[in-house]
Each structure stands twice: as structure tokens, then as C-alpha cells.
Amino acid sequence: MINPLGLHARPAALFVQAANRFPDCRVVVSNDSDRVNGKSIMGMMTLAAACGSELTIEIAGDEAERAMEALCRLIANKFEEE
């Protein structure tokens, strides 16, 4: 997680919105201890990912490549918070 403020409510909501643009894809996000539905705001918030923490994104479905590109771009842009 490269966002200086970590994965708080706003970036988590942006991630979930982006993931939900791909209804045929299954999105799973995990850290060292939890695996959550990447399309669920509550799931994403339970990760409590601070800046510097490592998350793994797994996507399956017909548009998995496009979904991964969109989510990685969102993260790389630090959720547009800078």
C-alpha cells in the first residue's frame, strides 16, 4: 500500500467502486492474515492496510486483465489523494 494514509474509507470505497465495474469478475484481496471480497467495503475496511503494508489482489473472470489494470492504476495513483 503506497497511499500515505493507507486504506481508509475513501480509498477503500474507490477500490470497491472500481472492482464493481467488472460484474463478471471475482476479486479477492488479502494480506498476511485475511482474505476478503474486493467488492465489499466492509471487507476492504477489515484489512486495515497501513502505508507500506502488502496486499495481494486475485481476480478471476472474463475481464480479469482489464480489472487488474484498473485496480493497479488506482493504487499506483495513490487513490488520487496527492
- Which distant-in-sequence residues (6+ apart) come within 8 Å of 42 by Cβ? none
Specify the amino acid at residue 1: M
Residue of 6, 8, 40, 57 with catalytic role: 8
Q: Which three cell numbers stand for residue 37?
A: 471480497
Helices and strands (DSSP H and E) totals, the chain: 3, 3
Active site residue 63: no
Q: Which residues pair with 28 in a beta bridge?
A: 37, 58
Mind telling me the catalytic residues?
A: 8
